[in-house]
Structure 1
């Protein structure tokens, strides 16, 4: 793993560790944290469900397993800062982690539907959002506060949104949110709150720092240190994105036919329709073969065989989704003060000799 920070622990795998794998091994799954990883005793852990509900609930792990149907969803999670390093090449993004392409990964998540728990509690007609709270304390907020976030109730009631206790067939590891986390497929990873202890049904979005102030798209001229709650665009559904996973950036290869592989992810409930690859800065394109996804919320791997010339070569990839939308060409057009949502054309540079 490429460790960006030890405390809080933030790390991603090298891009080649993700190549060709429909599901990401747990030990190669990126880790994004905002404070120290909490140590929670599953035996005494409880989940509180309250707010605009007919009946408040307090549920143990055994209660969740006994009272609700267990379901499984294959879903890709992606940090809003994935590929931030490409934006930093355009202009510095002070105070933010220089994530590469590995802050994205796919797992089989098992647990219960959030919708089933909300139905049991009886969400009120005035409900508009569902907020999640966790015990990890972050000093990124001033003053420090525990982590939280929310999603609209329309998304919360979708069958793919889980309260997950299992990842790739094993108990959810502590660093990935055990004993219970939210999994919100198609949305930025920040909304899939880990170490979940409370669900609150609200009329408005969460007032937590990481919903109201952080994870918001600010205009280029904004000063993040002065941005207050509600400024900018709140990030939710993922933007169409793709990247090259093999060969690695800076690799030395032999000239001639070479297999280029990567992933593509449309976000929310869209699908990937096409991936193009170019060796001449986008002057011409070769259409890649796109594999079937493991589920409607999972990435799709793609591959193309290209004839690499002698010398320094830049390989470029771009994706199109089912609506006909394509990735933007330049990261310069996407730069923002927090370095979020870089979905510009993917690029790696190799030397062939």
Structure 2
């Protein structure tokens, strides 16, 4: 990564050019799926080149328009009852600290919500995600613990909550242990480039293996507390609410943290193929864990092992593939992944009112026919 990006800002279009758009980067339909909110765009599953997701097609999830922040005047304040001495960092301060890079996947907890709704004949509230609210990047920045520890963490500190500088001041607490983990990061760069505006410039949190909402973008403040922190994002939203999830007061259900194991076929839904030899590819992801195997099943056939391609690391997806010579007609491909804790994708998942964490084995429809 070039040192030239140390003090530079990413190129911004003119304010006039972005006035009618809520996000900055282009979101062409040949790369991105528009959910209709003007804020949220998923990657097309058949447009995933390589292991790392390019910035131009990394999914977007925001709760307010992308803010236009100036690194020269931006600062990060760490404060709260859980530190002995509040501390403020400038953008230049961060670049002078030890930097680390790590590959991590980020996925929205609402990914596949529309498929969940179709299973139950129900349209959930919230962003109407298909399968594209997921992406993997190399994140470069400062370990969060290296920013917190100079403020003097108190013995009774228990929760850490980053807060965004967007219009709604998005915020989501995490336990102190997660904040101090080796792979919880304040990211300054993405795929070797200064963070783009839509992805959190000047700085964002990356909370490995957890729901995307925990990886707060445009962070400007971090509260460390000696009391558990409760905000709408861990009491009313990003919470599993339903008969199988008793309330954990003051939360209406079970707050979502680490994500479960799930898989993705890199084909449109439904897909159309020719009756010639094919290589079917996809990704599997297991939250904080590592995917160790992926199996596939064609129609009513037996489960077979797919091949995994390196890298195979925790908190990031793995690529898989298998060969298939399909016969003309309609077919179903099913895929299931297993992680290093022995957890395998289930056939079904319990209902929850907000349509989160839909991760069962999916029946992917395929039409095979000769094409002109």
Q: Give TM-score, length-normalised by structure 2.
A: 0.86
Find the partner of 1:309 among 317, 327, 331: 327
The aligned counterpart of 2:134 is 104
The aligned counterpart of 1:319 is 337
Find the partner of 2:308 among 290, 294, 313: 290
Q: What CA distance in whole angstroms lies between the structure 2 residues aligned with 1:211 and 1:230?
A: 7
Q: Are positions 1:264 and 2:273 aligned together?
A: no
Q: What CA distance in whole angstroms lies between the structure 1 residues aligned with 2:144 and 2:312?
A: 22
Specify the SS of the correspondent of 2:56: helix
For structure 1, which runs of at least 5 residues remain unmatched after alignment? 139-145
Find the partner of 1:76 among 92, 97, 105: 105
Find the partner of 2:94 among 51, 55, 64: 64
Q: What CA distance in whole angstroms lies between the structure 2 residues aligned with 1:263 and 1:182?
A: 24
Q: 1:36 deviation in Å?
A: 1.9
Find the partner of 2:225 among 176, 179, 202: 202
For structure 2, which runs of at least 5 residues remain unmatched after alignment? 1-31
Q: What CA distance in whole angstroms lies between the structure 2 residues aligned with 1:150 and 1:322?
A: 27
Q: Are positions 1:349 and 2:365 aligned together?
A: yes
Q: What CA distance in whole angstroms lies between the structure 2 residues aligned with 1:286 and 1:221?
A: 32
Find the partner of 1:29 among 34, 58, 78: 58
Larger relative contact order, structure 1 or 2 (CA cutoff 8 Å, min sep 6): 1
Contact 2:244 2:350 in 1 (8 A): no
Q: 1:83 deviation in Å?
A: 1.0
**1:220-260 alpha-carbon deviations (Å, 9 max, x no partner):** 599x9xx9841100100111111111x32222222243211
**1:107-164 alpha-carbon deviations (Å, 9 max, x no partner):** 01011000111111111110111111112234xxxxxxx2101111111111111100
Contact 1:93 1:337 in 2 (8 A): no
Q: 1:312 deviation in Å?
A: 0.5
Q: What CA distance in whole angstroms lies between the structure 2 residues aligned with 1:313 and 1:101?
A: 20
**1:317-343 alpha-carbon deviations (Å, 9 max, x no partner):** 00011122110113xx33311110011
Contact 1:314 1:349 in 2 (8 A): yes
Contact 1:72 1:108 in 2 (8 A): yes
TM-align CA RMSD: 1.9
Q: Which runs of 4+ in 1 moved over 6 A?
A: none
The aligned counterpart of 1:273 is 292
Instruction: Say if 1:13 and 1:285 are closer, same or farther in 2 by CA, change over 3 A.
Output: same
Find the partner of 1:334 among 350, 354, 360: 350
Q: What CA distance in whole angstroms lies between the structure 2 residues aligned with 1:45 and 1:77?
A: 25
Q: What CA distance in whole angstroms lies between the structure 2 residues aligned with 1:211 and 1:60?
A: 29
Specify the SS of the correspondent of 2:187: strand
Q: What CA distance in whole angstroms lies between the structure 1 residues aligned with 2:193 and 2:294?
A: 33
**1:10-51 alpha-carbon deviations (Å, 9 max, x no partner):** 101211112x52100001100001112212111100100011
Specify the SS of the correspondent of 1:137: coil
Contact 2:33 2:132 in 1 (8 A): no
Specify the SS of the correspondent of 2:165: strand
Q: Give TM-score, length-normalised by structure 1.
A: 0.90
Q: 1:180 deviation in Å?
A: 0.5
Q: Are positions 1:230 and 2:254 aligned together?
A: no
